[in-house]
């Protein structure tokens, strides 16, 4: 899946987690803008992992702060 298709799929997956209806851009941060706690992060990561059939380890998650970085990482992890 290329970056555009990956971005489209992630946009769909983030919808139920974006409870405050924040307008998400590539620069949106998960901790700051979306104010997610660790459990929400885990559930969201699990949704992405299950949909794309990938693993995003905690080590990799530590490098992902923004929505754009997540799309990059998921695009890359699909190999």
Partner 1 sequence: MTDLFSKFDPLIEQRRALLAGGVEDPFNLVMERVISPTVAVCNGRETILLGTYNYMGMTFDPDVIAAGKQALDDFGAGTTGSRVLNGTYAGHRACEEALKEFYGMDHAMVFSTGYQANLGIISTIAGKGDYIVLDIDSHASIWDGCKMGDAEVVPFKHNDIVAMEKRLKRIPEGAGKLVILEGVYSMLGDIAPLKEMIRVAKENGAMVLVDEAHSMGFIGPNGRGVAENQGCLEDVDFVIGTFSKSVGTVGGFCVSNHPKFEILRLVCRPYVFTASLPPSVVHTAATSIRKLMHGKAKRDKLWESSRVLHKNLRDLGFQLGTPEAQSAIIAVIMPDLERGAAMWEALLHEGLYVNLARPPATPAGMTLLRCSLCAEHTVDQVQTIIGMFERAGKAVGII
**Distances, alpha carbon 21 to alpha carbons 10, 26, 50, 54, 61, in Å:** 15, 15, 23, 27, 23
From the list 11-19, 26-34, 41-49, 65-73, the region that binds partner 1 by CB under 8 A is 41-49
Q: Which of 46, 51, 63, 78 binds partner 1 (CB under 8 A)?
A: 46
**Residue 20 interacting with partner 1 (CB under 8 A):** no
Q: State in angstroms the smallest separation of the CB of 67 from partner 1.
A: 21
In degrees, rounded to 5, the angle at the alpha carbon of residue 59 between the alpha carbons of residues 57 and 64 is: 90
Site for partner 1, rule CB under 8 A: 37, 39, 42-43, 46, 49-50, 53-55, 57-60
């Amino acid at each position: 899946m290329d970056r555009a298709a990956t971005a489209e799929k992630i946009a769909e997956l983030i919808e139920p987690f974006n409870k405050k209806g924040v307008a998400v851009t590539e620069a949106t941060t998960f901790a700051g803008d979306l104010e997610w706690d660790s459990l929400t992060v885990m559930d969201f990561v699990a949704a992405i992992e299950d949909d794309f059939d990938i693993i995003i380890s905690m080590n990799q998650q530590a490098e992902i702060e923004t929505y754009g970085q997540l799309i990059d990482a998921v695009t890359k992890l699909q190999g």
